[in-house]
Structure 1
Amino acid sequence: MGHKARRLAILLGVPILATGLGAGLAQAVTTFHPGPAVGYSCAFPAVGTRPVTMSEGAAGPDSVSTGATFSLTGISGTVTFSAAVHSLLTSLGYDGVRGYGAIGITAVNATPTFSGTGTIPAAIWSPGGPATFGVTGASQGFIAGTTGPIVFSLATQFSLATEFHRTNGTWTAFGLTCTVRPAQERTFTPALPIG
């Protein structure tokens, strides 16, 4: 398993695991991930739309047959707020986040069949510097297309059902909706062969 996939979780280093890869698949498991962290713009409570970066990985089969059903499992990622965004949230009394949701994966030459929601373990941040949180344990199902590779990419938009923690100990519900910024490389490697 690649070192990038091993560090795809908020503050916890949650590993990428593969289970239930579906019928008609090879036994080997491949880890899929995009390149450098991908930039998104997200709407925040009281501070408007701000830039964030995220990385993500997933486990899946190393090949599939035409028309086979398969899954990507252990879909987990890390969302990072810049020091500037973190400072703004701190000034408003926010120092953490929790929730659930998934950062979707799209596919060329495969049809989606289901999407399982992941969790956002509670993360409480110390003041200063960037702040991170993780989205762990999501899954997605697909049906393989015809001959040729299946190419996965991060979705252009995602929403998370988050609650922000305040320094007074309370939680405030505020969902994050994020849209990819221009000129981002969202494509996962490697491609998944059909054959």
Structure 2
Amino acid sequence: MKEVDEMKKKIYWLIPFLIFGLFLTGCSRNKVYGTVVISSDKYDQVQNDKKSINRLLKALERFDSEKPKTASRIYSAIDQLNEQGRKKMNKTDRKQLQGLLIDNKNSIKHIIMNAYQHHYGFDDDLSGSVSTPFFKVVRLLVNPITKQEANRKKVYNQLIKDTNAQQKLNNVGTTQ
């Protein structure tokens, strides 16, 4: 009888540790972003994308068409976002990302180059020209995170909210 009581005590002490261990195991595998459960690998990808997006937004806010360094920072941020964002994308999305950021005549890089070469200040039209491809880029960055469109939308909305993208794009070039 005494042995059974000893065994019960040990089991009662082990149960909380087992539950805690299972809880920690569950937490380390999956993370939540924008109310969507994603793997920790994809969560890290979202965090890296968010850093790259913030870097680009910060560079855009500081753009001054009369200071070459500000344009160089934007080009560098665009290249980093392109390199970082394409890691888990399929071939079609990679091509689209490259086009929106760098290659097309309506790409963010081309718009900034044009503004810098012609010494345009950032007005609403120019800011709007950057906004359209920017939001398309963010949509592309979300594609490899989850396959379900509803979840992509949640992650996209959370990324836009976390980066404060809309407000920052409205402030583009206001430091001139």
In the superposition, the TM-score normalised over structure 1's length comes to: 0.26
Q: Higher helix share goes to which structure?
A: 2
Of structures 1 and 2, the larger Rg is shown by: 2
In the superposition, the TM-score normalised over structure 2's length comes to: 0.28
